[in-house]
Amino acid sequence: MLVFWNERLVLLSVPKTGTHAYSQALGPRASMVVSDPPELKHAPVYRYNRFFRPMFEKMGAEQMDLVAVIREPLSWLGSWYRYRQRSALDGRPASTRGMCFDAFLTAACAETPPAFANTGSQAKFVEPRPNGTAVRHLFRYEDQPGLQRFLSDRLGPLPDIPSVNVSPRQDLSVTPETESLVRRRRADDFALWDSIPVGGLHL
Torsion, CA 186, CA 187, CA 193, CA 197, rounded to 10: 170
Contact yes or no for 15/83 (Cβ under 8 A):
no
User: What CATH code is assigned to 2-202?
Assistant: 3.40.50
Contact yes or no for 107/124 (Cβ under 8 A):
no
DSSP state, residue 163 = -
Cα separations in angstroms, 128 against 48, 131, 190: 11, 8, 17
pLDDT, one tens digit for every residue, the chain (203 residues):
999 999 999 999 999 999 999 999 999 999 999 999 999 999 999 999 999 999 999 999 888 999 999 999 999 999 999 999 999 999 999 999 999 999 999 999 999 999 999 999 999 999 999 999 999 999 999 999 999 999 999 999 999 887 766 666 778 999 999 999 999 999 999 999 999 999 999 98
Residue 112's region, left for phi above 0, alpha for psi from -120 to 50, else beta, is beta
Contact yes or no for 41/68 (Cβ under 8 A):
no
